[in-house]
Chain A
Amino acid sequence: MASLSTNENTPINSSSPRNILRSQHIVQCDCDTQRLPFIKRYLSFNTKSQITSCWKVQEWLKYLNFPRDAENIYHNLLRSSLDLQEFSNSVRQIELDLKRTYPDEVYFNTKEGEDSLRRVLVAYCKYDPNLGYVQGMNYIVGALLWHCTEVDAFWIFVGLMEKHELRDTYLPTFPGLSKHCQIIQLLTLEQLPNLHRHFAQFDVQCRMYATEWCFSLFGSVVPANEMVSVFDNFFQKGWIFFYKFVIYILKRLEGQLLGANDLADIIMPLKICHKSQREWKNFLLLLDNGRRSLTWEIMMNEVSEIVIDEDYIRYLHLHFDLDKAQFVSKRSN
């Protein structure tokens, strides 16, 4: 804490960081106002000056164990400098992606939004220099920042990486992605045998459609405000929720996909990317076969109702060899 060595190279203002961080980043979500009784909701005008994490995030904090001096560690990371080629590559890439994260949300086009996103991502690169920054992280951190303070966003992200097997996904050669794709294929074979056959016929590989979902935990599809329920479920169910969500989308689109007789026509509906609220609504329409009755809440309920053999999947996860990127019959010592 004592040595305030301002590093000119990093775009981080380090003079009295504590106050600056607290006041600069304003939580954007409306989770707290939504929770207020009807009348109070209309009387509260201070939603955009919220500087504490929203109540949903507060719930997660109960079972996520942050280090005792989480705030200090985060600030020290911001102030420290790292002289590594990989690190400067990461910083360069982060810089490129700042404007390309939730581009329709005004907040991420403002200086405050960009700065806080940059700070958390850069801090993570310093925290885990062997991994560095990988595209997709920007969506997860962006969605977290929508709902919580910078310090919370950073440590929740660390929690996802370390305790929820998210790190495997981003490792070089992406072993985690292989794991999830193989499981998704198994599940499609079991739950959607016709679609599985159809995919095989047109050589549609799981990687072609599920990679973005996997790298951004659906952040590239779902708007930042709604992402809170994705995290909510992910903290409770882990990757089981992820698989359910994938199967849910495939189930909803099955008719349409089976009707497509071209790799392009099959991939297109699955390659949905969230650029604007309009596209998000279009996606909901697509899932609902043109009807307008599907809402995000209904969707989340239906996802949780999907039945998959959770024990078997947990068993598979325990028997995945990261180096070989495949399932092995015995756990290696």
Chain B
Amino acid sequence: MATMECKIVTLGEGRVGKTSLALKYVKNEFHKDEISTVNANYLTKLVQIPQGSVQLNIWDTAGQERFRAIASNYYRQAKGALIVYDITDRKSFDKVVSWIKELKSQAEKNIVIVVAGNKCDMEKERQINRPEALEFCRKMQIRHFDTSAKSGNGVEEMFMELASQIFEANKGELGQSGRNSRRGKITVEKTKHRENSGKKGGCC
């Protein structure tokens, strides 16, 4: 069966758990005080879904506002985005709105977005009502997940959903470029990337 390779990014305010979610999913690790991400981390995992398999190349970006200016380097050509907020922090939820807006106007048209309300193991300190978050995501037509990188709750389901939605959204391209692929891998993402890289001077 063909493997689809795709890039996804994690976005969201600082210390909401972007790195922790990605690490929990990819390596099943959890560190209480994960070190802060400068710029971006890179992780990959092969996901088996009923329709085929998807290799998720996860760019885990930094949360600080200053790095937002260069976040577009990472979500450019991304097939999926995971926007994370911390259920105990109202401000981080407000950022979700602005990320969605930015992605809808700047990123690829068919980018798949999912929202994660992380740290749901800290229910007592919850600041964002669950119905409010669900209603908001329903309006935006985006799937919402309650996750906890600490306990692992919801993490697997979320990435599976992301992978299968991406597969659905891009299976057209899979068929077309299938014949040219090397070793049965469909590098949808990479071929596109190379077309563009000619225009940029230098690395930055």
Q: Which residues of A contact B (CB under 8 A)?
A: 89, 93, 96-97, 99-101, 103, 109, 132, 134-136, 138, 170, 172-174, 177-178, 181-182, 185, 203, 205-208, 211-212, 215-216, 220, 263-264, 267-268, 271, 273-275, 325-326
| Residues from chain A with Cβ under 8 Å of B44 in the complex | 264
Closest-by-CB residue of A relative to B197 is: A203
Contact of A220 among B38, B40, B42, B66 (CB under 8 A): B38
Contact between B35 and A135, CB atoms less than 8 A apart? no
Question: Once A and B bind, how many residue pairs between them come within 8 Å at the CB atom?
Answer: 97
Tell me whether A325 and B67 are in contact (CB under 8 A). Answer: no
Q: A275 to nearest B CB, angstroms?
A: 6
Point out the residues of chain B lying under 8 angstroms from A267, CB to CB.
Answer: 42
Chain B residues whose CB sits within 8 angstroms of the CB of A275 once the complex forms: 31, 35
Contact of B69 among A172, A212, A274 (CB under 8 A): A172
| Shortest Cβ distance from residue A9 to the other chain B in the assembled complex, whole angstroms | 17
**What is the chain B residue whose CB lies nearest that of A220?**
B38
Q: Which 3 pairs show the lowest CB-CB distances between chains A and B?
A: A211-B39, A178-B204, A100-B36
Interface residue from A109, A174, A185 paired with B202 (Cβ < 8 Å): A185
B70 touches A182 (CB 8 A): no
Is B64 engaged at the interface, CB distance under 8 Å to the other chain? yes
Nearest CB on A from B9, distance (A): 13
Tell me, yes or no, whether B199 is within 8 Å of chain A by CB: no
- Is B57 interfacial (CB-CB < 8 Å)? yes
Q: Which residue of A lies closest to B44 (CB)?
A: A264
User: Which residue of B15, B34, B35, B66 is within 8 Å of A134 (Cβ)?
Assistant: B66
Asked if B33 contacts A207 (CB within 8 A), the reply is no
Min distance, Cβ B35 to any Cβ of chain A, angstroms: 5
Cα distance, A116 to B36, chains bound together (Å): 18
In the complex, B156 has a CB within 8 A of chain A? no
Q: Give Cα A203–Cα B195 distance, bound, in whole angstroms.
A: 11
- Chain A hits for B33, CB < 8 A: 99-100, 103, 109
A213 to chain B, nearest CB (A): 9
Alpha-carbon gap, A325 to B204, bound state (A): 9
Task: Give me 12 other A-B pairs in contact (C-beta within 8 A), A100-B35, A174-B70 excluded.
Answer: A134-B64, A134-B66, A135-B62, A203-B194, A205-B203, A206-B203, A207-B39, A207-B203, A208-B40, A212-B39, A263-B190, A264-B43
16 A-B pairs with C-beta separation under 8 A: A89-B65, A99-B33, A103-B35, A135-B36, A136-B38, A138-B36, A173-B70, A181-B203, A185-B203, A205-B203, A207-B39, A207-B203, A208-B42, A263-B190, A264-B57, A274-B35
Q: Does B105 contact A (CB under 8 A)?
A: no
Contact of A207 among B41, B69, B73, B201 (CB under 8 A): B73
Residues of chain A lying within 8 A (CB to CB) of residue B62: 135
A10 to chain B, nearest CB (A): 19
Chain A CB within 8 A of B193 CB? yes
Rounded to whole Å, the gap between the CB of B1 and the closest CB of chain A is 19
Most buried by B among A170, A211, A268: A211
Given A103-B31, A173-B69: A96 in contact with B202 (beta carbons within 8 A):
no
Cβ-defined contact, B190 with A203, below 8 A: yes
Q: Does B14 contact A (CB under 8 A)?
A: yes
- B36–A96 touching, CB < 8 Å: yes
Asked whether, in the complex, the Cβ of B14 is within 8 Å of the Cβ of A96, the reply is yes
Q: How far is the CB of B95 from chain A (nearest CB, A)?
A: 12
- How far is it, in angstroms, between the C-alpha of A211 and the C-alpha of B41 when the chains are bound? 11
| A101-B202 in contact (CB<8A) | no
Given contacts A100-B33, A207-B73, contact A216 B38 (CB under 8 A): yes
Measured CB to CB, the nearest residue on chain A to B70 is A174
Minimum CB–CB distance from B181 to chain A (whole Å) comes to 15
Chain A residues within 8 Å of B43, by CB: 264
